[in-house]
């Protein structure tokens, strides 16, 4: 699996093909870019908190806060219009689409197969008789919540909602924000900034836990730090995938799989459901990040050797 990913991602890892990074299409000044990003994050965050705390779409059959995601897509499109960007400029272009989608799905399947297997083995070793169960839920900090019985309609809604979710988040963070920051301050700054903002974006789950009385403020702070770190790890990984391929498809498809598998496939034991869900997610995240960074480092070395050979006329 890792060798296959290496071959797939290497084909675009040549400096002259880094269209996402090298093209300078932004006409806005640094101050204007900061203002646009600030307004984008602020407005979408306000909508997100209103939906999470008061509208509670996640407690319906939809099992997700889809209003926020649709609003994020619209807000990102407006920000792109202001900056003179098209969908292709932020990585949503028909460039080896299915190959990269397969790459992202393969990465998700590979890492979660390992983490699910270890979780089941751990519970079995504790004598808890674990087994896998398929049904639809939303995501909870302490495990699966709001169970919906498995049906074609429930699965279809889950797929559609998760597609909307990844289009919104990948488009806003790894698409627009990474694009505009990279072209003014460089890729490293852009990748770390979008990762930090992506982590902050998920703190709402901790605020919701306090609001619902499921955790204390102290517990929420600890979980919030964990959310920033874990979401940030994935964001760095997916941003790196964008720099390697020039498109969003790898991160977008792995993001979709990560969310869907968490909603769909659960580990049930004699003492509860998804008791070690956080450990499962952490392990998968670190495995995925490690694989991508390893491939990225190898490809940088290969690209450097290729450029050196070209300079020497070999």
Does the structure show a pLDDT above 60 at 106?
yes
Q: Is 175 helix (H, G, I), strand (E, B) or coil?
A: helix
**Contact (CB, 8 A) for 291 and 8:** no
| Range 103-112 average pLDDT | 96
Q: Are 237 and 136 in contact (CB under 8 A)?
A: no
The torsion angles phi and psi of 186, rounded to 5 degrees, stand at 100, 160
- Identify the three-state secondary structure at position 145: strand
Q: Is the pLDDT of residue 314 over 60?
A: no
pTM (two decimals): 0.88
Asked whether the beta carbons of 231 and 202 are under 8 A apart, the reply is yes
Give the residue ranges of DSSP H helices in the chain: 2-10, 19-22, 30-50, 66-83, 97-125, 152-169, 178-185, 187-201, 204-211, 217-245, 249-264, 277-311
Measured CA to CA, the distance from residue 141 to residue 227 in angstroms comes to 10
- Average pLDDT rounded to a whole number, residues 189-195: 97
pLDDT > 90 fraction of the chain, expressed in percent and rounded: 67
Hey, CA dihedral for 187, 192, 193, 194, is it positive or negative? positive
The neighbouring-strand residues paired with 133 are 266
Do the beta carbons of residue 151 and residue 159 sit within 8 Å? no
Quick: pLDDT tens for 29-41.
999 999 999 999 9
pLDDT at 137 over 90: no
pLDDT digits (tens, 9 = 90+) for 49-101: 999 999 998 887 777 889 999 999 999 999 999 999 999 999 998 878 999 99
Specify the pLDDT at position 22: 41
More confident residue, 214 or 44: 44
Beta bridge partners of 273: 268
């Amino acid at each position: 699996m890792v060798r296959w990913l290496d071959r797939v991602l290497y084909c675009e890892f040549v400096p002259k093909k880094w269209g996402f990074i090298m093209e300078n299409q932004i006409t806005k000044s640094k101050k204007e870019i900061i203002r646009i990003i600030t307004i984008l994050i602020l407005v979408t965050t306000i909508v997100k908190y209103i939906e999470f705390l008061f509208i509670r779409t996640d407690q319906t059959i939809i099992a997700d806060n889809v209003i926020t995601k649709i609003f994020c897509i619209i807000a990102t499109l407006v920000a792109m219009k202001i900056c003179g960007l098209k969908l292709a400029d932020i990585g949503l272009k028909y460039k080896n689409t299915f190959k990269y989608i397969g790459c992202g799905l393969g990465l998700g399947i590979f890492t979660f197969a390992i983490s699910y297997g270890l979780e089941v083995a751990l519970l079995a070793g504790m004598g808890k008789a674990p087994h896998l169960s398929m049904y639809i839920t939303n995501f909870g900090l302490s495990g699966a919540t709001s169970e919906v019985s498995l049906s074609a309609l429930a699965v279809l809604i889950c797929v559609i909602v998760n597609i909307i979710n990844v289009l919104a988040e990948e488009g806003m963070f790894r698409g627009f924000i990474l694009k505009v920051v990279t072209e003014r301050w460089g890729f490293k700054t852009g990748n770390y900034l979008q990762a930090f903002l992506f982590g902050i974006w998920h703190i709402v789950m901790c605020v919701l836990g306090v609001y619902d009385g499921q955790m204390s403020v102290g517990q929420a702070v600890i979980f919030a730090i964990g959310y920033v770190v874990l979401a940030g790890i994935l964001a760095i990984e997916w941003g790196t995938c964008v720099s390697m391929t020039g498109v969003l498809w790898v991160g977008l498809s792995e993001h979709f799989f990560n969310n869907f598998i968490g909603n769909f496939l659960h580990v049930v034991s004699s003492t509860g459901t998804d008791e070690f869900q956080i450990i499962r997610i952490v392990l998968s995240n670190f495995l995925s990040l490690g694989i991508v960074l390893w491939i990225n480092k190898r490809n940088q070395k290969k690209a450097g050797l290729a450029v050196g050979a070209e300079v020497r006329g070999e």
